[in-house]
């Protein structure tokens, strides 16, 4: 009997990654396709043709990688999972035509709608959420609204085209519209619980707009449930070579926040993780509700629908990447062709040599707006005093601190709520150079940070684990299943260093004070 394999695919902000794992959850091969969002008429978007080209290229890359490592074709797959960046706005009419270009999470053009819905619901509705995009389109009197028959996320869209099923994992769905449990009692049977969009808020939205969201939002599925089967058309869309065959079950599609929780085994109460790449966000699984509404904190769920406090910041590593590219070009002027991986590692390590307070060098990484600090748009900015120590270590330390600063402001709120954590795990490109991002984040958040050996596999591995859980989980809860997966997982933990913590504290004082300079830069045409 052939061993089971599971395919996970995640459409991230800068790459589409495919991972094939075996029945013991070990990665067998991976494939990557790099892509970038574009700013089209003031809207951050991806063309949907690029979605399918990227998926096909990622799967082709995986097939090549598998053949190189293992020789033979990998045969039948037992389960597939699709994940993608959360939130955003993909609206279709009754004939499945896209009504407006995909509006991604990165857009910060829905402040009016987000504030109005937050006040109406008494529940924080961030600008990124799908419902904020929809309501803003209504307020803007956009003509396409009357034709909407289906509204979904990027993961939900891809899953729909592969299976024909308009469903969404509860974690991703909780970034479209608030979720609530529904308890059902039947005579002679134990209480059952299923999850749906919050009924009271649905009714309030209908009263505001005369739109019945239940008819246009995806059906909610929980981790472990079957999300549908790969169709013949879906197989051709994903893999024109014919390696994938129809009939493979797909788990519910999830957002990158949910797969990050799975990939770091952060789905139990008192666990949390920080994902740091193009954006940066922390996910903390709560033991109890927060005492009140906070505009800076999103309330979402794990893929098994446990409540999660999310601190989301739009900007993280993009400005670091831009500076490192500048250093690369500078070397090329002198005929030095530096290896990019070596360049990243060398410059990241230089950050550890930076001075207290970064020697008077201050940077803002705002390529787009940052709701936590009240910015609808941004401009990357470097500020230094005339007597600043303008050195490479101080520039690099400032860039890495800037990537963490807005997150710190949100995490301060959860500290004030006395949210307890047994572990906080880091994953994403910020941690690629061993010990550097991990050390600085431990100092910034003043908590130990753990990075697992598997963290590099990321969300694609996380959604592959969810596909395996659908097939192999039997009666286990997601928490129990993942405990078995991670039983022998190795990782490293770094404690906060007092000197680094003091350095970051000094930097944050300047950072908060300098936000008015960033504001002036944004307002300057």
84 SS3 class: strand
Backbone angles phi and psi of 39, in degrees to 5: -100, 105
How many angstroms separate the CA atoms of 450 and 492, rounded?
5
User: Is there a domain that residue 191 lies in?
Assistant: no
The total number of structural domains that make up the chain: 1
User: Is there a domain that residue 249 lies in?
Assistant: no
Q: Where is 479: in which H helix or E strand?
A: helix 478-485
Share of the chain above pLDDT 70, in %: 95
Could you tell me how many residues make up the chain? 525
Q: What is the pLDDT of residue 183?
A: 43
User: Is there a domain that residue 43 lies in?
Assistant: no
Supply the mean pLDDT for the chain.
Answer: 92
Q: Give this prediction's pTM.
A: 0.86
Pairing of the two strands 423-427 and 271-276: parallel
Largest CA distance in the chain: 80
User: Is there a domain that residue 187 lies in?
Assistant: no
Angle between helix 436-445 and helix 498-513 axes, rounded to 10 deg: 70
Is residue 180 very low, low, confident or very high in pLDDT (cuts 50, 70, 90)?
Answer: confident
297-336 pLDDT, tens digit per residue, is 999 999 999 999 999 999 999 999 999 999 999 999 999 9
Q: What is the pLDDT of residue 74?
A: 64
How many other CB atoms are found less than 10 A from the CB of residue 352? 15
User: Is there a domain that residue 71 lies in?
Assistant: no
The boundaries of the domain holding residue 399 are 318-423+505-523
User: Is there a domain that residue 49 lies in?
Assistant: no
275-291 pLDDT, tens digit per residue, is 888 889 999 999 988 99
Is residue 17 very low, low, confident or very high in pLDDT (cuts 50, 70, 90)?
Answer: very high
Q: Where is 150: in which H helix or E strand?
A: strand 150-152
User: Is there a domain that residue 372 lies in?
Assistant: yes
Q: Where is 57: in which H helix or E strand?
A: helix 48-70
How many angstroms separate the CA atoms of 260 and 285, rounded?
13
254 closest CA partner among 466, 507, 522: 466
Sheet containing 27-34, strands listed edge to edge, beginning at the edge strand earlier in sequence: 27-34, 15-22, 5-11, 79-84, 254-255
Two tokens at 513?
């004070």
456-476 pLDDT, tens digit per residue, is 568 899 999 999 999 999 889
467 SS3 class: helix
Q: Which residues pair with 381 in a beta bridge?
A: 364
| pLDDT value at 8 more than 90 | yes
| pLDDT value at 193 more than 70 | no
| pLDDT value at 189 more than 80 | no
User: Is there a domain that residue 408 lies in?
Assistant: yes
């Amino acid at each position: 009997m052939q061993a089971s394999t599971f395919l996970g695919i995640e459409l991230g902000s800068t790459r589409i990654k495919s991972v094939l794992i075996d029945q013991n959850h070990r990665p067998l091969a991976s494939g990557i396709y790099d892509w970038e969002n574009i700013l089209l008429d003031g809207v951050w978007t991806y063309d949907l043709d690029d979605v399918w080209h990227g998926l096909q290229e990622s799967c082709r890359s995986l097939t090549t990688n598998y053949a190189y490592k293992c020789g033979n074709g990998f045969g039948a797959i037992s389960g597939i999972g699709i994940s993608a960046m959360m939130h955003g706005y993909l609206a279709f009419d009754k004939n499945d035509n896209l009504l407006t270009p995909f509006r991604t999470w990165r857009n910060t053009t829905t402040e009016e709608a987000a504030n109005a819905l937050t006040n109406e619901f008494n529940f924080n509705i961030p600008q990124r959420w799908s419902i904020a995009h929809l309501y803003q389109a209504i307020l803007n009197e956009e003509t396409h609204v009357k034709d909407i028959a289906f509204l979904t996320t990027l993961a939900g869209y891809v899953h729909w085209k592969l299976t024909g099923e308009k469903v969404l994992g509860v974690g991703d769905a909780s970034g479209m519209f608030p979720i609530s449990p529904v308890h059902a009692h039947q005579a002679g049977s134990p209480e059952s619980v299923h999850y749906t969009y919050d009924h009271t808020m649905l009714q309030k939205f209908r009263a505001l707009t005369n739109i019945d969201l239940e008819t246009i939002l995806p059906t909610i599925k929980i981790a472990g449930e079957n999300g549908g089967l790969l169709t013949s058309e879906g197989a051709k869309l994903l893999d024109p070579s014919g390696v994938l065959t129809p009939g493979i079950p797909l788990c519910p599609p999830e957002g990158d926040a949910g797969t990050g929780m799975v990939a770091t085994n952060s789905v139990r109460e008192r666990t949390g993780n920080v994902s740091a790449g193009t954006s940066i966000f922390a996910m903390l699984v709560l033991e109890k509700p927060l005492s009140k509404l906070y505009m800076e904190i999103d309330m979402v769920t794990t893929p098994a629908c446990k409540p999660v406090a999310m601190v989301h910041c739009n900007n993280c590593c993009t400005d670091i990447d831009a500076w490192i590219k500048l250093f690369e070009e500078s070397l090329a002027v002198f005929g030095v062709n530096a290896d990019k991986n070596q360049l990243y590692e060398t410059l990241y390590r230089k950050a550890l040599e930076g001075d207290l307070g970064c020697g008077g060098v201050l940077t803002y990484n705002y390529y787009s707006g940052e709701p936590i600090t009240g910015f609808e748009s941004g401009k990357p900015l470097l500020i230094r005093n005339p007597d600043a120590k303008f050195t490479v270590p101080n520039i690099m330390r400032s860039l890495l601190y800037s990537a963490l600063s807005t997150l710190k402001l949100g995490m301060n709120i959860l500290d004030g709520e006395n949210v307890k954590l047994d572990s906080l795990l880091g994953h994403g490109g910020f941690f690629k150079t061993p010990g550097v991002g991990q050390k600085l984040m431990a100092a910034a958040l003043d908590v130990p940070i753990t990075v697992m050996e598997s963290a590099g596999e990321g969300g694609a591995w996380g959604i592959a684990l969810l596909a395996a859980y659908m097939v192999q989980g039997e009666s286990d809860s997601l928490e129990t299943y993942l405990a078995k997966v991670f039983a022998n997982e190795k990782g490293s933990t770094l404690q906060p260093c007092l000197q680094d913590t003091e350095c970051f504290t000094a930097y944050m004082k300047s950072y908060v004070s300098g936000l008015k300079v960033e504001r002036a830069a944004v307002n300057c045409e």
